[in-house]
């Protein structure tokens, strides 16, 4: 899971100006897996996937862990 900390801006490495960049702050998967309230989370049980559903309860726990206001 990530929080967008800086919205889209031009990629300074792209000479044609076609690409952009978004800055993010990531929550490490190990922290999610170690949290007891997230042990049944879809992405914890199916770790080979990178996208999956998140329940409202799980989102609340993750937001608290990352100090994101939901």
Domain boundaries of the chain, sorted by first residue: 2-66
8, pLDDT greater than 90: yes
pLDDT of residue 25: 81
pLDDT in tens, 12-64: 999 999 999 999 887 777 888 899 999 999 988 887 777 889 999 998 998 88
Residue-wise DSSP of the chain:
-EEEEEEEEE-TT-TTS--EEEEEEEPPHHHHHH-GGGTT-HHHHTTT-S-----HHHHHHHHHHHT---
Please report the pLDDT score of residue 70 as a whole number: 62
């Amino acid at each position: 899971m990530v929080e967008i900390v800086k919205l889209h801006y031009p990629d300074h490495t792209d000479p044609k100006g076609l690409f952009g960049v978004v800055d993010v702050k990531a929550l490490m998967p190990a922290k999610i897996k170690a949290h007891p309230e997230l042990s049944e989370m879809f992405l914890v049980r199916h770790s080979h996937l990178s996208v999956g559903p998140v329940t409202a309860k799980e989102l609340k726990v993750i937001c608290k862990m990352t100090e994101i206001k939901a």
